[in-house]
Amino acid sequence: MDYCLITNDLKKSYGHFTALNGLTMKVPKGSIYGFVGKNGAGKTTLIRLICGLQQPTAGDYTMYGRKHTAKDIVKSRRRMGAVVETPSIYLDLTAEENLRDQYRVLGLPSFDNIPELLQFVGLADTGKKKAKNFSLGMRQRLGIAIALAGDPDFLVLDEPINGLDPQGIIEMRELLLKLNKEQQITILISSHILDELSRLATHYGFVDHGQMVKEISAAELEAACRKCIRLQVSDAGALARVLDHRGMEYTIRSEHEADVFGKFSVTDLTMELAKNNCEVLSMSERDESLESYFIALIGGGQHE
């Protein structure tokens, strides 16, 4: 398999704080790589390093076959576009003026394909409207358009759907899928909205305390995510006592709801619950979600 980015034992420290602590990861060419971790896990630090905004304390990374210490690493970085934290746009300029400015920065000889680029990201009809009057979703799409100005084949996005309303999230999802499938652009995306990430990613990297905990493809993740039976009951406490007695694995979700893992006789369980004055109100089969898998892998708490 070919990779556009490989990091090897990458470390980054700020004084006594270690943001990356030996991070090793591989981003396959053509993938949408979901970079998942809690607050402070090191995701944004990694993005800053590969964009050349900061230098690693130790370790190395390779982008399109060039180590970050190579004199011509800039050639690899020219193949990358990025939106780090917030889109870098001029609020008093229109979408087209923002792109023209970026084209000048990159030294591109012609503005001819700007209308096509604006059309691609859904901003063709913004005309003379200034970016300060754009919705958050429009600003995010303009940021991506600016990142695409140099015709990259690797796009790095830090929380691109953070703060968007449902319609904005759908539009962003469709844009990223289009970039990946139609333009064959590899996308590295960090996001805390795991349900949405599961609709996009072909590969995942789960990071914690600056270290890679697990890399897995979407197909492997789907196979690894366990199925469970979600039970609605009159008394989850009584259900827990019965399940403990039977040695079964479960997760209590509320005082009336629980997920039960593994195979079991529904009839036997229902009868035993009835003896404990617990009524089964409903049951349904469910797959473990990406969020559940993440929490089981890394632990609870807030994630960015």
CA–CA distance, 14 with 12 (Å, rounded to integer)? 7
Supply the mean pLDDT for the chain.
91
* Per-residue pLDDT tens over the stretch 149-194: 989 999 999 988 888 888 889 999 999 999 999 999 999 999 878 8
Q: Determine the structural domain holding residue 280 and report its residue range.
A: 226-287
Q: Which residues have a Cβ under 8 Å from the Cβ of 74 and sit 6 or more positions away?
A: none
- Strand residues in the chain grouped as ranges (E): 3-14, 17-28, 32-36, 58-63, 66-67, 80-83, 154-158, 186-190, 203-208, 211-217, 227-233, 250-254, 257-261, 280-287
CA–CA distance, 262 with 187 (Å, rounded to integer)? 36
| Domain endpoint, select from 197, 216, 235 | 216
Residue 36 lies in a domain: yes
234 shares a domain with 212: no
Residue 296: both structure tokens together: 């089981």
Residue 303 lies in a domain: no
* Per-residue pLDDT tens over the stretch 128-152: 999 999 999 999 999 999 999 989 9
CATH at 211: 3.40.50.300
pLDDT number for residue 302: 44
**Predicted confidence (pLDDT) at residue 303 exceeds the cutoff of 50:** no
* CA distances (Å), origin 234, targets 25, 272, 282, 286: 46, 14, 10, 20
DSSP classification of residue 133 = G
Residue 69 lies in a domain: yes
136 shares a domain with 28: yes
Beta bridge partners of 254: 257
Mean pLDDT to the nearest integer, 69-84: 93
